[in-house]
């Protein structure tokens, strides 16, 4: 997993819970990197799992809720680190439609070692999209947060529901309907 995801994660923890919690979860996690990340570095996904588990223990919140909150936070982080990746889109549905074939393709050029999920589009209309998230990392709540923020980015909202196609969350279908 790319360092930019770790640096954004620790930044969110500091903002929401304070620097002490950052120090505590780094201490309590199993981190070969010792919790020192650079945005272009690549680190084991296990380190992220360990950090999220420690945070969940520390602040007594479910992991899924914390991953979702991180998705909300990460959209702005990635968007401001790479504005050129999203500036061509004029509405949220077309942005979501383009993740697989354009946005993450571009990301792969910026970060060749990135391990990205795949999104399969099942249906798309002017104000709705149905897509299947697929990734061995099972970060579907991260996708949930990112999708939610995509609408906010265009000053809109959406009704987002999801269904686990595999129990471990490695394949999840999202039904997304733009409000208003």
The minimum distance between CB 15 and ligand HEM, in angstroms, equals 19
Choosing from 24, 29, 54, 135, the residue that interacts with ligand HEM (CB under 6 A) is 135
Of 24 and 158, nearer to ligand HEM (C-beta) is 158
Residue 25 in contact with ligand HEM, rule: CB under 6 A: no
Choosing from 59, 107, 121, 177, the residue that interacts with ligand HEM (CB under 6 A) is 107
Q: Provide the 10 A C-beta neighbour count for residue 32.
A: 10
CA torsion 119-125-126-130 (nearest 10°) is -30
| Interface region with ligand HEM, contact rule CB under 6 A, candidates 49-57, 58-66, 99-107, 161-169 | 99-107
C-beta of residue 13 within 8 angstroms of C-beta of residue 21 = yes
Choosing from 59, 116, 121, 160, the residue that interacts with ligand HEM (CB under 6 A) is 116
Residue 78 in contact with ligand HEM, rule: CB under 6 A: yes
C-beta of residue 179 within 8 angstroms of C-beta of residue 93 = no
Choosing from 4, 25, 26, 158, the residue that interacts with ligand HEM (CB under 6 A) is 4
Binding mask 148-167 for ligand HEM (x = CB under 6 A): --x-----------------
Residue 82 in contact with ligand HEM, rule: CB under 6 A: yes
Nearest to 72 by CA among 168, 160, 133: 160
Of 5 and 13, nearer to ligand HEM (C-beta) is 5
Distance CA 59, CA 70 (A): 14
The minimum distance between CB 42 and ligand HEM, in angstroms, equals 7
Contact residues: ligand HEM, CB under 6 A? 1-2, 4-5, 78-79, 82, 85-86, 99, 103-104, 107, 111, 114-117, 135, 137, 139, 142-143, 146-147, 150
């Amino acid at each position: 997993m790319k360092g930019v995801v770790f640096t954004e994660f620790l930044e969110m923890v500091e903002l929401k819970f304070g620097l002490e919690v950052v120090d505590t979860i780094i201490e309590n996690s199993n981190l070969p990197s010792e919790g020192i990340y650079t945005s272009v570095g690549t680190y084991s996904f296990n380190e992220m799992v360990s950090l999220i588990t420690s945070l969940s223990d520390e602040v007594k919140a479910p992991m899924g809720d914390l991953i979702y909150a991180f998705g909300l936070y990460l959209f702005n982080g990635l968007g401001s680190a790479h504005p050129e990746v999203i500036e061509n889109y004029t509405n949220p549905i077309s942005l979501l439609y383009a993740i697989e074939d354009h946005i993450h393709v571009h990301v792969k050029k910026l970060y060749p070692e990135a391990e990205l999920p795949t999104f399969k589009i099942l249906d798309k209309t002017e104000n709705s999209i149905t897509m299947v998230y697929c990734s061995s990392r099972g970060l579907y709540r991260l996708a949930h947060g990112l999708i939610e923020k995509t609408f906010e980015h265009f000053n809109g909202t959406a009704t987002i529901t999801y269904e686990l196609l595999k129990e471990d969350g490695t394949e999840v279908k999202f039904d997304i309907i733009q409000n208003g």
